Amino acid sequence: MSRPLAAIVDYGIGNLFSVRRACEVVGLRAVIAAEPSLVRLADAVILPGVGAFHQAAAALRDRGLDRAVREAAAWGKPLMGICLGMQLLMSRSFEFGCHEGLGLIPGEVVRLQEGGPGERRVKVPHVGWNSISEPPGAVPLSRWFGSPLEGLTNGTTMYFVHSYRVEPRDRDVVLAVTTYGPETFVSCLWQGRVFACQFHPERSGPAGLSVYRRWAATWVRDGSLEKSA
């Protein structure tokens, strides 16, 4: 049986080669896809990215990749958004103005808080290792069952580089949260066959690699897992 093919969307912004290497380690074939046709041919799609939201959104549109990513999601292909790629899945971002995203997950992208008077102040961007946990009120580890985070424990550390965070309208799509300074932000989303993380799993050591491995072993190979309503 041939290995499933993952298209890593190339719109000129992103850490593409480390993502491809992570895919190969967990048994996926991976292609860096700058053409919509490659995205459409793939079994699964990864939308990575670093940098400014408006530049990335414009690059996706200019190359016709925005439509290809939306089609992949509509067809039920497993889709992973990483860092800026996660933010691009939202409705809009308020980074340097107001800019439209892909609209696959209703919500907005807003700047991280540095902290006000009497609060612990932190530097923005948020760069370095930080822990992920299940959202408040969740039964321990139940929310992660059947997701790419299954097998990890609350407090697992991942590597972050970002100045903005997502605010989904539906809190039921929140898979994990992370605290930085005065606020707790959404660090993972899960909606249908769409999984997204604010951290970089390909730069997060064995724990990050396990996210790729779980995503590949379940969603990509047999396509059997979907989050229940």
Q: Which amino acid is at 176?
A: A
Residue of 127, 129, 131 whose CA lies nearest to 161: 127
β-strand partners of 165 = 110
CB 23 within 8 A of CB 32: no
Query: Whose CA is closest to 110, among 87, 93, 97, 122?
Result: 93
Residue in 95, 108, 134, 202 annotated catalytic: 202
The one catalytic residue in 23, 83, 188, 197 is: 83
Peptide linkage before 206 cis (omega within 30 of 0): no
CA distance 91 to 26: 31
User: Which token pair is 189?
Assistant: 């989303």
Task: Based on the residue annotation, tell me whether 200 is a catalytic residue of this protein.
Answer: yes
d(Cα 64, Cα 117) in Å, to the nearest integer?
Answer: 45
Q: Is 54 a known active-site residue?
A: no
140-166 as b/e: b if 16+ CB within 10 A: eeebbebbbbeebeeebbbbbbbebbb
Q: Is 202 a catalytic residue?
A: yes
Residue listed under structure tokens 């670093």: 50
The pair of structure tokens assigned to 103 is: 């609209």
Pair 93, 148: CB distance under 8 Å? no
Alpha-carbon gap, residue 143 to 75, rounded angstroms:
25
Please give the positions annotated as active site: 83, 200, 202
